[in-house]
Chains A and B, each alone.
Chain A
């Protein structure tokens, strides 16, 4: 029988894997859920102890952690998903290197909580890894569900939820010290955690600290410096009342990596070429540094009201800052070596600006590695020699200032975060064996967005001018970023450019009822919530020189004052049943309809300069469902799931710098629909007591399903560049991740407390993210269908090459004496050093006459990486 089951398992895997190779062209999406065996009875959730399951917590394997220009681009959810589910294990351990995302959901569709408190940002929807990065010892215990399912701590989201349980009293007493060495984003990590256990006086304490460091990360020019501190105390007043307080924070500073074009990679001869850094006085310096430090305080009271009812209430708050630096320049060429006009191709014979001399010169320059990086010394020299006199300084007529006006600076975009709120959950088991949960929560978030001069690079000042504003309007004030403080000389640390708040409030009431029958478990949940937000401008931009409410100025068109308050009432219902065929076979079906408010980050046309919101802004509508078949045998366990998630009315916004308009151009879309659907398979076959075979396959298809409307604006122009422009996105892939990921491995577990496993992983159907402006009638206005290949070049979505990796995982435990244990683990990813493109994007800027002038940009996966850890545990 075992043999038959294994054959069945392998057949299923190979059949689906074959299908993944056969389906070479595009399309499809993902979504849904996971019903792990633990969820079959409603008595407990999938609380995972990773050390027990032999699964290493995986932090920082994803190369994507380094990329992107968003301050809070790092996603935590994929890193936290430790689970007993075979598929989810593969997702965590082997798929991340390829940028795989569970069912194609982006981070906003996954709820991350701590002690029941939702940590997702109200503005971005993302729960940043930086919130508690590195605190592995205390976040290894969690309730989690992937996809839809019941939950007694949250209504959740379509991507599921993680609820990190960090109550000091639940941690085993003892000390654990861990040291790790690797070659990934960070190279060294040291962690120490002490937990007192529940003391006789009712107190329990837990303290954890971590340091992670890399002077030089895997990617040239990158480095990492991360700290983490967790302090928790529980006071058990009685058997029915425990008060818990938790303070945690994880300041992280790291140097980033840029996406690059094929040309840059080829010229540099390095698939991890990074243009963001260069030498200054012989010392490497990266221009793009992200910093995050948002410590949080959380107070929780757990009250057992009676034998069948309990109440959990939380109060929480966070206060901190995230920031991202970058170069800014005034009236001088872009200093980035990979700027398109600094690339030989810009002057290639076939380009619109062909110049054989320049082409030859740049090609020659790129042969020298020094020219492939930023030249900080040149920037300093340029600033030092630019003596300039400013008149009417700070708006004072006749006031002058003479000094070295910086032509280049390092600016720092900041987000100062203030969040606070409450959470309450009431659980009770009713007489009819119905388990009822009711929860309510509210969060207020005020985040200030602004930027400061981080480094004048040897200059004396920077002028707070909208350097291109005057070219678009005769308005003499257009040059001023803040007409209330004109001609402002900006010194290091001064605020300039933009300064505004996004203030958000969200309140929710939700409930869930669960009931178990002999053959069926069922649940139903509902939520109703209200989200409101507005922008509050602290500067009055010269292009939009009014303050809302002052002199009758309306909200729209004003840059100062408060915008219209955008208010969204949302709701959701979900339900599911598990049919227990017998003790080993289960069928689970889940379904949900959820509406969600648009994210404030996507809601404003150009939040840096004005109050105007995007027209047509509406709540998202999510229809989702999944059906799973689960196996729970001694020799075989796993599941296969089909999921189907339709997300409608999404808001989408991206910005890019456009030389033609001399400013940032913002493309905002509303009514963006997408369908994520696919199959998931995760099976583990136990060959004997030592050997098991693990297979996982995700075959998804993540597609846009309609043609939304776009509004295009420029930061320095009053007039919109386009309104209600239809973007023909239907059936394009969402992109940015592989839709197919598979893993097949064998694992040996010894009686002598060691294990080792080798896993072959394969990734396919990874598409680049696409530029909406290239899929409009306007983009094709001058073309006819036979204008090939140019029409296809504009319309086709590039599919990145398929790729594989081979991973090794192993570990051994040494029991020194009672209560003393040493664990050694080693994880090697990508044993064959197969470096492949794992992410790509179409540039938002493009030239419809020469589409290749702004080619796609990519990132490559890491090659062979490892992380070796040794930990000492004393109980």
Chain B
């Protein structure tokens, strides 16, 4: 008879299993701080600590951020939900873009990088333990640049002046300061065909700067390369193209600048661009204005003589338009070019403007021409109209005369003292502007410039004064 002590066996099982499975334990690990004594701050809060003098953190404070860019040397750019800021390491050590980090700010210094320049966190210790103040929480985090236009950047800029015991300190402000951005719809000046870093220099530790413009050249920002970059060596400025640029935004001497991470951040693959719509009344054209600032993107040049298009007070008329005058010239001839910003053409793009002539002098020569160019590079020059220039341009643009499409351009013979539409039709002041049938700009593709050229000869031509206003180029 086989006997088995089921009760005993069951009791044994119960006891053994209970004993064993009752004790499931988890490692406690070493004690670890739950938080730094100073708590945590955001980048925005850190920025607010600056009141004109360097601020040294003397308490353990956490700052959580993601590294958006490094300059492969000591500078980091970090961002959080509240903003961005540059960080200067004591020595570079293994921190890279995409790293999610917690910084213990103790020992770091909040300061300006220079006069009227960006705010930064300086002297950050990232060396090996135990002095290291950076904890890398994750790597490979996405750090997409923030799309922005140059106009938005410029509009964001302001400045706060702190009055300290050491004097007044200007601290430029922008929500984009220290931020990794992608500036869209930009291009370099057509004339900026140089190398990013002059080939003549043997050192990469130079700070060449180049201006970047938006499509209408209405706004610009400075491009700055970080010291020591080798990525831009032997690279030329892509002046023939438009596109976008990725980089960190900062202030230097009060001006915004963008510092790209590498040459790959310059994505200039599209044809040069222009503004889609241009309207300029010249109502702000006053005496002694800064032409470039008041009319960004416009070029005011001459190819002969000393005169250029000028404000009304210069030419003796009321404000609100821009004019060209040959009076009192000391040169035999004056050829003045008022050139629009680049325009993005389209099949229905039209040009409208108004003209007025004063100092009517027979035989009332047509001194104002309208020209169009698709390869203007910043120096007006064309068909060698008079066989000579102040200086011969090395790379003259080709201009096509479309004056014939604007039969309404005054020539002084009507002795009108008010502006009239330059297009077909002869409406009086206040009359509806009429377009040339179809588009006066048809036949020209891509980006183009319109030039209003005033030509006067002291002896052969009369010296009538030509003025224009209400220029509009749009669909």
Contacts and interface: CB of A to CB of B under 8 A. Distances in A.
Interface string A723-741: 0001011111000000000
Contacts of A629: 8-9, 12
B202 interface: no
Contacts of B167: none
Given A781-B130, A785-B34, A351 B94 contact: yes
A782 B25 contact: no
Interface stretch (B14-22, B116-124, B151-159, B311-319): B14-22
Interface in B7-66: 8-9, 12-13, 15-17, 19-21, 23-36, 62
A732 B27 contact: yes
Contacts of B25: 27, 703, 731
17 contacts: A5-B4, A25-B26, A584-B2, A585-B8, A587-B12, A635-B2, A642-B20, A699-B20, A728-B27, A778-B129, A783-B135, A784-B36, A789-B138, A790-B135, A795-B27, A848-B128, A849-B132
A782 B132 contact: yes
B5 A640 contact: no
Contacts of B62: 784
A788 B129 contact: no
B257 interface: no
Given A731-B27, A778-B130, A631 B36 contact: no
B395 to A, nearest CB: 38
A640 B133 contact: no
Given A1-B2, A585-B4, A629-B9, A784 B32 contact: yes
Nearest to B93: A352
Contacts of B96: 349-350, 354
A353 B72 CA distance: 11
A225 interface: no
A344 B26 CA distance: 35
Nearest to A850: B94
A642 B9 CA distance: 13
A204 B188 CA distance: 103
A788 B5 CA distance: 54
A584 B32 contact: no
Interface string B107-141: 00000000000000000000011101111111110
Contacts of A297: none
Given A629-B9, A778-B130, A785 B33 contact: yes
Contacts of B9: 585, 629
B104 interface: yes
Contacts of A775: 27, 29-30
A270 interface: no
A351 B8 CA distance: 61
Contacts of A631: 4
Nearest to A354: B96
A699 B21 CA distance: 10
A12 B34 contact: no
A263 interface: no
Interface string A755-795: 00000000000000000000111111111111111110001
B178 interface: no
Q: Interface extent on A, as a size class?
A: 35 or more
A678 interface: yes
Contacts of B74: none
Given A782-B129, A785-B34, A350 B2 contact: no
A823 interface: no
Interface string A835-861: 000000000000111100000000000
Nearest to A847: B128
Contacts, number: 157
A652 interface: no
A627 B12 contact: yes
Nearest to A26: B26
Given A353-B94, A797-B27, A587 B139 contact: no
A677 interface: yes
Contacts of B30: 726, 728, 775-777, 779-780, 795
Given A776-B30, A791-B32, A25 B24 contact: yes
B98 interface: yes
Tell which of B2, B30, B137 has the most Cβ of chain A within 10 Å: B30
Contacts of B19: 642, 644
A27 B24 contact: yes
B349 interface: no
Interface in B417-475: none
Contact of A848 (B23, B27, B129): B129
A642 B8 CA distance: 15
Contact of A587 (B8, B23, B35): B8
A730 to B, nearest CB: 6
Given A349-B96, A789-B137, A627 B4 contact: no
Nearest to B16: A642
A720 interface: no
Given A587-B12, A640-B13, A849-B94, A787 B27 contact: no
A293 B137 CA distance: 52
A787 B16 contact: no
A23 interface: yes
Contacts of B136: 790, 849-850
Contacts of A797: 27
Interface residues of B, number: 48
A644 B138 CA distance: 41
B140 A787 contact: no
Contacts of B32: 777, 780, 783-785, 791
Nearest to A777: B30
Closest 9 CB pairs of A and B: A352-B94, A642-B16, A350-B139, A728-B30, A731-B25, A731-B27, A629-B12, A784-B33, A795-B29
Contacts of B241: none
B8 A782 contact: no
Given A782-B130, A783-B33, A849-B128, 11 more contacts: A1-B2, A584-B4, A629-B12, A726-B30, A728-B28, A729-B27, A781-B130, A784-B62, A787-B135, A789-B138, A795-B29
Given A351-B94, A679-B16, A791-B32, A27 B26 contact: yes
Contacts of B27: 26, 728-732, 775, 795, 797
A660 B128 CA distance: 11
B102 interface: yes
A380 interface: no
B2 A633 contact: yes
Nearest to A788: B137
A266 interface: no
A732 B25 CA distance: 9
B142 to A, nearest CB: 13
A352 B93 CA distance: 7
A582 interface: yes
A783 B101 CA distance: 11
Given A627-B12, A679-B20, A730-B28, A782 B4 contact: no
Given A582-B3, A778-B130, A350 B33 contact: no
Contact of B24 (A23, A627, A635): A23
A683 B9 CA distance: 14
Tell which of A19, A783, A849 has the most Cβ of chain B within 10 Å: A849
Nearest to B96: A354
A283 interface: no
A627 B16 contact: yes
Interface in A580-622: 581-582, 584-585, 587
Nearest to B139: A350
Contacts of A847: 128
Interface in A623-679: 627, 629, 631, 633-635, 640, 642, 644, 660, 677-679
A635 B4 CA distance: 12
Nearest to B102: A787
A27 B102 CA distance: 32
A5 B20 CA distance: 24
Contacts of A678: 20
A571 B89 CA distance: 60
Nearest to B29: A795
A787 B35 contact: no
